[in-house]
Amino acid sequence: MSDASTVALKEIMRPIKRGEFVEPEKNYKVLAVHWYAKGLYVKYSKPGSEIRARRMYRVEVGDFVYNRLFAWKGSFAIVKSEHSGCYVSGEFPCFRVEQSLADPRYLHAFFSWPWVWNTALGLSMGGTQISRNRLKEERFLNIRIRLPSLLEQRRVVKRIERLSTKTDEIRNLRRQSTIGTEMLLDAYSQEIFEGLKLRPFLVRLRDADLTINRETKDPSGTKSNSEFAYVDISSVGPGPATLDKAKLVPANLAPSRARRVIRTNDVIFSTVRPQLKAVAKIGERLNNQICSTGFAVFSCGPSLDPDFLLYQLCSPFFIRQCVGLTTGAHYPAINESNLRNVSIVAPPLAQQHQIVSQLAHLKAKADALRGLQMEALAKIEAFMPSALYEAFHEHSASALMPEKPVAPRMA
């Protein structure tokens, strides 16, 4: 070995190729590697007759695999039992680790370190700086790594695995807490909109004080050098929310679905997969702009508060009715005719304002709780890079350089 502290990867692992000619009748489970050292996954499973490559490469438990093209994104992995016997393409070099010297889990921990990904970028070559950077095996094998005793390697792995487990637990707790908060909001809004007090004010949308899809126009008919703000389905997350910005689109490139005119205080509701609750009120900055025909646009009359309608369109009371009237298996949506038959409640304005105040107060508390959860999660997430730094930083300056430094170049 080169010295007592660091070794080149070529001293502790060797390339291995279990190449096989692709047989038309054989089925192949072909793997890829997640970014950020998140492991392997089955990209596809298909017969050889549908695979263009002439050869595929079989992997076994314990193999170290990386993606040449996305090494700079942390595409490194160790093959686990569930993927043993699967295949990779020639873009995924495989190596056997000399386990009397190195624990494969220790190597994986090393390649989970963002600093290593940056090093991989510096050692990669390709046609463009971002999309075609490839880390060739020769350069990969010349990367140096701090290599303590096997006992110490395993201690490092245990510490990192414990931290990873704790981080996963906190993520799950946050996820459960978010779900719980959403369920609380749903339960409260359900109690309000389906309660006995509001039943006398039940009305179908077709008879309510609002207009649905008031105006449509084709923005491509405007000046060729103009542009407009376009709200598509992907622009709106789960509501209730107020929308103040959207992507700008040149008029001459207007999508075919960009047809519905939106104005300040309109409420838009995604008629596609209504259970996702993509609902928003239009802010002043988007006045007289365009949204997709995948939305129904509600314009309230004087006796209906837009914020009251916004909260109601997100409620289980309204969503459940819409889901029951959707059609289409692959692209479930509610059409305008069915939507007009959905019921809402429309009590006097004073009562609407009171309900909006109650729901807004509860939503503000829920948003504050989510903010605290995100802040706590961000701090926990920062522990992992710190742990990796502590594990590998002692010789980081030299350990991340190849034995014979070569300036990165474009092939």
User: pLDDT band at residue 378, thresholds of 50, 70 and 90?
Assistant: confident
The arithmetic mean of pLDDT across residues 339-355, rounded, is 94
Predicted pLDDT of residue 348: 94
Q: Are 291 and 165 in contact (CB under 8 A)?
A: no
The arithmetic mean of pLDDT across residues 341-348, rounded, is 94
Is pLDDT at 133 greater than 70 in this prediction? yes
Sorted by where each starts, the structural domains of the chain and their CATH numbers stand as: 6-147 (3.90.220.20), 179-354 (3.90.220.20)
For the ranges 18-32, 197-211, 363-377, which has the lowest average pLDDT?
Answer: 363-377
In whole numbers, what is the pLDDT of the chain averaged over residues?
85
**CA atoms of 68 and 95, how far apart (whole Å):** 13
Tell me if the bond preceding 238 is cis, omega within 30° of 0.
no
The answer to whether the predicted template modeling score (pTM) of the entire model surpasses 0.75 is no
pLDDT digits (tens, 9 = 90+) for 257-290: 999 999 999 999 999 999 999 999 999 999 999 9
User: pLDDT band at residue 229, thresholds of 50, 70 and 90?
Assistant: very high
Q: Could you tell me which of 207, 239, 2 has the C-alpha nearest to residue 101?
A: 2
Who contacts 88 (Cβ-Cβ below 8 Å, separation ≥6)?
A: 30, 31, 32, 56, 57, 59, 65, 94
Report the 10 Å Cβ neighbour count for 395. Answer: 15
Q: Are 156 and 145 in contact (CB under 8 A)?
A: no
Predicted pLDDT of residue 384: 63
Predicted pLDDT of residue 391: 63
Predicted pLDDT of residue 91: 93
Predicted pLDDT of residue 394: 52
**CA atoms of 239 and 311, how far apart (whole Å):** 8
CA dihedral 362, 367, 369, 370 (to 10 degrees): 140
User: pLDDT band at residue 383, thresholds of 50, 70 and 90?
Assistant: low
pLDDT digits (tens, 9 = 90+) for 135-167: 999 999 999 888 888 998 898 888 888 877 777
Who contacts 236 (Cβ-Cβ below 8 Å, separation ≥6)?
A: 243, 268, 270, 278, 279, 280, 295
Q: Are 300 and 267 in contact (CB under 8 A)?
A: yes
End-to-end CA distance of the chain: 32
Is pLDDT at 406 greater than 60 in this prediction? no
pLDDT digits (tens, 9 = 90+) for 201-228: 999 999 999 999 999 998 887 666 788 9
User: pLDDT band at residue 186, thresholds of 50, 70 and 90?
Assistant: confident
Predicted pLDDT of residue 134: 87
